[in-house]
Structures are given as C-alpha cells and as structure tokens.
C-alpha cells in the first residue's frame, strides 16, 4: 500500500539529509524503521507525508488509502477539549454520528480517557496525549498507520494497550510503519525492518536478512549498532 523510493531529500536545496531510501509497507504488515539519533527517520517520515521542502524520488500511496499519522510529539488545538477534537475529526472525515459515537465511547473507556474527555489535551500527561492521538487516529479506520516513536513516555499498561491495538489493527488488515528505538519490542512485533544510518538505507528486510546485512551472525538488532558514539 506504500512504496517509497527516495533519491534525495532535505531541508535546504542541494543539502540532502536523506539519500537512496527504499521501503514498502504491505497490507497487514508492521514495518519498523530504526536507526541512531539524527539518522534521518523522522525526515523520511516527513518525506513520505509530503512535508519535506526538498525531495527527489517517488512516494506512492495506493489509491484510496486512508492513513493516520501519530507524530513523535502529540499536537493538539490549544482551545479544544478532547471531545471537540473528536467532533472535529468526525466532521473532516465526514463520519456518521451513529457509527463514530459508539466506537469512540468504547475506545475512550478502553484507553481510560472517559473522565477527561471534556478537558484540554494540552493539560494531559504524555501518555494520555499519546492515547488521545491514537483514538483520533483510530476514528478514520485507516488502512495505513505511520507512527513516530509510539512507546516514549508510556507506562507499562499503556504500552500493553498500544501493542494490543497495533495487533488488532494489523489483524484488521492495516499496514503499519513505525519508527522506534525500543529494539527488543520492534524485534518481537515487526514483520520487516528498515535500518537508516547517516541518512541512507543501511539494511532492510526480515530479521534474519537485516542481521546478515549487518554482519551479525548470532544476536539481536542491538548488535547492528556500535556502543556509544563510535
């Protein structure tokens, strides 16, 4: 559902931040994008969402695909309560009230957000904000999720709930592209991996394929990276 072949992309002309990045996400598949700080993961996400000022290459989204994006730092409208955000999404997505309302109420309970639904999300904890973003993302029943660092700041229950939600979404047929530094979780849940280093594709494929491309005979994804600042 998503094919990306980026020749180069960046923030200033003739100063590419990312180069030669190819990746794809198929239906029901979870692809983990990993790499060191500053490697170019968020820049790649910006490129495939059409938000990068300079881009050469192709980003092909299958026709009719709806996607939901969860950024690394949740963003909300300052003056709108969570419920008003929900109503806003329902209106721009043209959702039918008799369909979205029961769906949202069930998810508000599952995410333990019912009691705060009339509060401003700006006052929420990081985990509550992340859960609110997930709820707003779920409303459009996306075929594709693009998620930047979803586990940062989540407590163990919220992490479990997020993992269960991603699994349910995958079973529903949604594809997921997820950036993360939590490599043991990525290794456990992802079907395929894309490793980006210094703005370029370092390895990609299944776990055994990327380990072999990183010359790791027996080990984990952590062994694809040097210790410290080498």
Ligand X SMILES: Nc1ncnc2c1ncn2[C@@H]1O[C@H](COP(=O)(O)OP(=O)(O)OP(=O)(O)O)[C@@H](O)[C@H]1O
Q: Is 42 in the site for ligand X (CB under 6 A)?
A: yes
Q: Give yes or no for residue 37 binding ligand X (CB under 6 A).
A: yes
| Sign, Cα dihedral of 33, 36, 39, 42 | positive
| Residue among 36, 34, 37, 33 nearest 2 (CA) | 33
Q: Which of 6, 9, 21, 41 binds ligand X (CB under 6 A)?
A: 41
Residue 38, phi-psi category: left (phi > 0), alpha (psi -120 to 50), beta (remainder): left
Mention every residue, 6+ apart, whose C-beta is less than 8 A from residue 75: none
Residue 204 CB, shortest distance to ligand X, in Å, is 15
Nearest to ligand X of 35, 142 (CB atom): 35
Alpha carbon separation from 1 to 60, 66, 153 (Å, rounded): 8, 10, 30
By C-beta, is 175 or 199 nearer to ligand X? Answer: 199
- Under the binding rule (CB under 6 A), the answer on residue 165 touching ligand X is no
Residue 194 lies near ligand X (rule: CB under 6 A)? no
**Minimal distance in Å, beta carbon 105 to ligand X?**
34
The structure tokens listed for 18 are 């990312």
Instruction: Tell whether residue 9 is a contact of ligand X (CB under 6 A).
Output: no
In the sheet that 54-61 helps form, which strands lie side by side, from edge to edge?
54-61, 2-10, 18-25, 200-205, 192-197, 30-34, 175-179, 144-148, 67-70
Strand partners, 86: none
User: Is residue 175 a contact point for ligand X (CB under 6 A)?
Assistant: no
Q: Which is nearer to ligand X, 44 or 143 (CB)?
A: 44
When asked if residue 17 is in the footprint of ligand X (CB under 6 A), the reply is yes
Q: By CB under 6 A, is residue 142 in contact with ligand X?
A: no
| 43 lines the binding site for ligand X (CB under 6 A) | yes
The answer to the question of residue 39 lying near ligand X (CB under 6 A) is yes
Question: Given the rule CB under 6 A, which of 40-48, 84-92, 99-107, 169-177 is the region that contacts ligand X?
Answer: 40-48
- Binding residues for ligand X, rule: CB under 6 A, are 11, 17, 35, 37-43
């Amino acid at each position: 559902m998503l094919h990306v072949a980026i020749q180069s992309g960046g923030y200033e002309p003739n100063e590419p931040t990312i180069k030669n990045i190819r990746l794809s996400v198929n239906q029901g598949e979870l692809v983990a994008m990993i790499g060191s700080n500053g490697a170019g993961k968020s820049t790649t996400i910006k490129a495939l969402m059409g938000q990068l000022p300079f881009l050469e290459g192709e980003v092909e989204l299958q026709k009719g695909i709806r996607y939901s994006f969860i950024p690394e730092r949740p963003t909300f409208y300052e003056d709108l309560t969570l419920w008003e955000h929900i109503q806003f999404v329902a209106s721009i997505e043209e959702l039918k009230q008799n369909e979205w309302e029961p769906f949202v109420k069930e998810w508000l309970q599952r995410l333990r957000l019912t009691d705060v639904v009339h509060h401003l999300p700006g006052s929420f904890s990081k985990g509550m904000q992340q859960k609110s973003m997930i709820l707003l993302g779920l409303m459009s029943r996306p075929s594709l999720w693009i998620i930047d660092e979803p586990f940062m700041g989540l407590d163990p229950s919220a992490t479990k709930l997020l993992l269960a939600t991603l699994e349910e979404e995958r079973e529903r047929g949604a594809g997921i592209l997820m950036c993360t530094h939590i490599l043991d979780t990525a290794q456990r849940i992802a079907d395929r991996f894309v490793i980006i280093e210094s703005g370029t594709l370092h390895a990609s494929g299944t776990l055994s394929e990327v380990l072999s491309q990183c010359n790791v005979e027996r080990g984990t994804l952590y062994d694809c990276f040097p210790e410290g600042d080498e």
